[in-house]
């Protein structure tokens, strides 16, 4: 894939892959557990790269971007399975944040 992909296109591409190569989706509970596992793998990298933990020999080939993509993949699977349009959901989330947090962060002295 050499072009930029919209969220909607990504949802379709993941679904096409699942229906052909992947055979079927894992059930929602399994995918939720997989999502937590993938987030844990990213957390491990973050703790070593940006936190106080040091890398182990087994961590040398870990790729942060790939771990983030794994998270996105499983999240897209869950969205597809549960009928969530992620483009619409993200837009609504921006709208919510723009209303709820309009002044909150600007007025937070801890962020200055």
Which residues are within 8 A (CB) of 44 and not within 5 positions of it... i.e. 6 or more apart?
59, 62
How many domains, the chain?
Answer: 1
User: Can you give the pLDDT at residue 107?
Assistant: 86
Question: Could you read off the pLDDT of 28-84 as tens digits, one per residue?
Answer: 999 999 999 999 999 999 999 999 988 888 877 889 999 999 999 999 999 999 999
Residue 106's pLDDT band (boundaries 50, 70, 90)?
confident
- Is the residue at 111 inside a domain? no
The CATH number assigned to the domain holding 66 equals 1.10.287.1080
- Residue pointed to by tokens 């002295």: 109
- Is the residue at 65 inside a domain? yes
Tell me which residue range forms the domain holding 33.
Answer: 7-85
pLDDT at 1 over 80: no
- Is the residue at 49 inside a domain? yes
Alpha-carbon distance of 90 to 62, in angstroms, equals 29
- Is the residue at 98 inside a domain? no
User: Can you give the pLDDT at residue 112?
Assistant: 82
Q: Taking Cα atoms as reference points, which of 77, 86, 64 lies closest to residue 34? A: 77
User: Can you give the pLDDT at residue 101?
Assistant: 85
């Amino acid at each position: 894939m050499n072009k930029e992909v919209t969220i909607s296109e990504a949802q379709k591409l993941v679904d096409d892959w699942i229906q052909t190569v992947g055979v079927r989706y894992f059930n929602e509970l399994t995918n939720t557990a997989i999502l937590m596992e993938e987030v844990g793998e990213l957390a491990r990298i973050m703790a070593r790269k940006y936190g106080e933990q040091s890398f182990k020999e087994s961590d040398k080939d870990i790729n942060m971007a790939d771990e983030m993509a794994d998270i996105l993949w499983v999240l897209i699977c869950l969205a597809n399975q549960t009928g969530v349009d992620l483009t619409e959901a993200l837009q609504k989330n921006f709208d919510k944040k723009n209303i709820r947090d309009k002044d909150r962060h600007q007025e937070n002295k801890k962020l200055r």
